[in-house]
Structure 1
């Protein structure tokens, strides 16, 4: 009896399995005559060029993008030791970077990922737009990075940021485009329709490329970040493409008029004062002096201004209070400083200082110290 039941049970299992296989094949098409296939056909992706090599979007992965592009990302060093990043964008040996990296310099040191160094000449630098071009004759004929010069990113696009944050060359971070069309000012520069990105960047990253993760092409120039937060900003390459190409061709062109007109606000007045003290703490007196209004610059020449801060070793802004009064902002800053005495000792002290901040020639300036 048990033997008969075993035979019946076996037959039921076999029949059930056959019916199940027929149903799956009929309704889901998991199998086809030539092997395993997907439920829906995958559209063939158009071939794209990544650093001179043709690959399809299906085959792109982050490791390959990094491998192909990293040799074209450089570290830029000014004579005063300030560091930034840049990337090779044409076969003339021209490197795109930020204006604030090379401001005031005619030549900079360009360090390649293999540690080879060259001197580069600044052939174009923005006064309002934070972009510049450096030419290295020895790199002429070198395969540049592929640039998506007319691409408009969308929120959610995966991106890769490359550069030298804090001087750590060959650093790579990833994220997404988290917002678009950000307009703001970081005096003396104005940013129009910038990409907001979640890929972490830091001082030293400035001038490095923002790369689209699906193609490996450059879509932006990493330029600014909120300190201590994973919020960065990148200038869309399409916004400055005609300008940098004109510089590469030796043409003298005016920068495009900004879409963004400077408006006095508490946030930007606070930023300007913090930037002022940050520049002084980094011994970047040229930048600090450039933030002063014309009347203040008339009353004190650069050499005197620089000399007045020679004993100041560091200056940290602990707190800021801002009060808007008509067309100016009164900024009260609480400063903690470390100063070098004539006896060669470091002494800490705290003090308060008030500044008047306002708009001058459509740029925000520190007008005077009260």
Structure 2
């Protein structure tokens, strides 16, 4: 090989060697340097898959759960129900409203409305009633695609013995239970460990993991050890059919004046204390909008929502003792509560605890119970 032939070969070898050296150096640099991956989409998905807080699930659900009274002469049947769509339609049990001449609905914030039955099963214990005043209000999401399994954690809400929005926790202890009660046929019912007693009927059975409705609470054993709930997917077709086929102009409703005009003092106190409970609970869970809606028109005119929210936003914890109530001569109720609050100062970043005595004046405004005045005494 002469000199002219050697030089191209030497140059080629040098180029190859340089390329290998560069690749070797880059390889070691990549291995030595840690790579940080930050994918906001992954973080968002992880956050969304977390189960909601139990207290949050309950408070949200309570806004959609109502107490139902079906009246037939002097006989009154008490049950529960829950809003599920924007028309003001409420799912309940057929046996709660069966043969009722008048159906009344009491919401979580103490408001009372007349309702009309828009559909009821002959053999299945499912019914839908409508309250147009509750259209576009808080509703619960129905979980119709997935069937619950034994061991799933559940929350049952209702009004047992008239105690509105009572919560019981439990699990699905059995599935596909079939039986007959009072002329109604229950097929593929969920057996649950949460108690179902008088007044619970028609309330929602909620999936603890998702916060969605999986069943309609129906019946329980006499000893209260077992309850049974109708799977929502078993009743969904009837429910949606009744809702779609009903027009408000075809329905008849009892006057609200007839409902609220005969309130007895004991019942008035019970209803007023429920409004007070709901107010303090809303503040506790930082649902300031829910609390503000309980105020009467004069209070809302005197204090805007931002100002109202500013008065309570520094509360980081709120506990209150038993309520004390008296009926005034003008038919209003004065509710007194001693509230222990923990608050945080934005300037000093310090947490302090103190007791505040609240006095709420609660009375009717446009046939609904409202908080007409609030006074507080900081101890």
How do residues 159-308 of structure 1 correspond to structure 2 at under 5 angstroms? Answer: 159-250=154-245
What is the aligned partner in structure 2 of residue 74 from structure 1?
Answer: 66
The whole-number CA distance in structure 2 between the counterparts of 1:191 and 1:153 is: 16
Corresponding residue SS for 2:56: helix
What is the aligned partner in structure 1 of residue 350 from structure 2?
Answer: none
Corresponding residue SS for 2:50: helix
Corresponding residue SS for 1:67: helix
* Runs (4+) off by over 2 Å: 43-47
The one-character-per-residue Cα deviations of 1:145-187 (angstroms, maximum 9, x if unpaired) are 1110222000000000000011110100000000000000113
- Which of 121, 130, 141 is the equivalent residue of 1:135? 130
What is the aligned partner in structure 1 of residue 48 from structure 2?
Answer: 56
What is the aligned partner in structure 2 of residue 100 from structure 1?
Answer: 95
The one-character-per-residue Cα deviations of 1:309-331 (angstroms, maximum 9, x if unpaired) are xxxxxxxxxxxxxxxxxxxxxxx
Does the CA contact (< 8 Å) of 1:98 and 1:130 recur in 2? yes
Q: Which has more radius of gyration?
A: 2
The one-character-per-residue Cα deviations of 1:274-322 (angstroms, maximum 9, x if unpaired) are xxxxxxxxxxxxxxxxxxxxxxxxxxxxxxxxxxxxxxxxxxxxxxxxx
What is the aligned partner in structure 1 of residue 82 from structure 2?
Answer: 87
Does the CA contact (< 8 Å) of 1:106 and 1:121 recur in 2? no
Corresponding residue SS for 1:249: helix
**Shift in Å at residue 56 of structure 1?**
2.7
Does the CA contact (< 8 Å) of 2:68 and 2:104 recur in 1? yes
**Shift in Å at residue 59 of structure 1?**
4.4
**Shift in Å at residue 46 of structure 1?**
6.1
Q: Please, which runs of 5 or more residues in structure 1 have no aligned partner?
A: 1-31, 35-42, 48-54, 252-370
What is the aligned partner in structure 2 of residue 361 from structure 1?
Answer: none
What is the aligned partner in structure 2 of residue 281 from structure 1?
Answer: none
RMSD after superposition: 2.3
What is the aligned partner in structure 2 of residue 15 from structure 1?
Answer: none
The one-character-per-residue Cα deviations of 1:46-101 (angstroms, maximum 9, x if unpaired) are 68xxxxxxx83414121110111111000000123220000001110000000000
The whole-number CA distance in structure 2 between the counterparts of 1:194 and 1:142 is: 29
The whole-number CA distance in structure 2 between the counterparts of 1:84 and 1:221 is: 12
The whole-number CA distance in structure 2 between the counterparts of 1:205 and 1:157 is: 20
The one-character-per-residue Cα deviations of 1:199-256 (angstroms, maximum 9, x if unpaired) are 11211000000000000000000001011131000000000101010000117xxxxx
Does the CA contact (< 8 Å) of 2:77 and 2:97 recur in 1? no
The whole-number CA distance in structure 1 between the counterparts of 2:240 and 2:57 is: 25
Aligned: 1:150 with 2:145: yes
Does the CA contact (< 8 Å) of 2:80 and 2:199 recur in 1? yes
What is the aligned partner in structure 2 of residue 51 from structure 1?
Answer: none
The one-character-per-residue Cα deviations of 1:129-153 (angstroms, maximum 9, x if unpaired) are 0000000010111131111022200
Corresponding residue SS for 1:201: coil
What is the aligned partner in structure 2 of residue 352 from structure 1?
Answer: none
What is the aligned partner in structure 2 of residue 366 from structure 1?
Answer: none
Does the CA contact (< 8 Å) of 1:45 and 1:58 recur in 2? no
Does the CA contact (< 8 Å) of 1:182 and 1:195 recur in 2? yes
The whole-number CA distance in structure 1 between the counterparts of 2:194 and 2:95 is: 21
Does the CA contact (< 8 Å) of 1:105 and 1:122 recur in 2? no
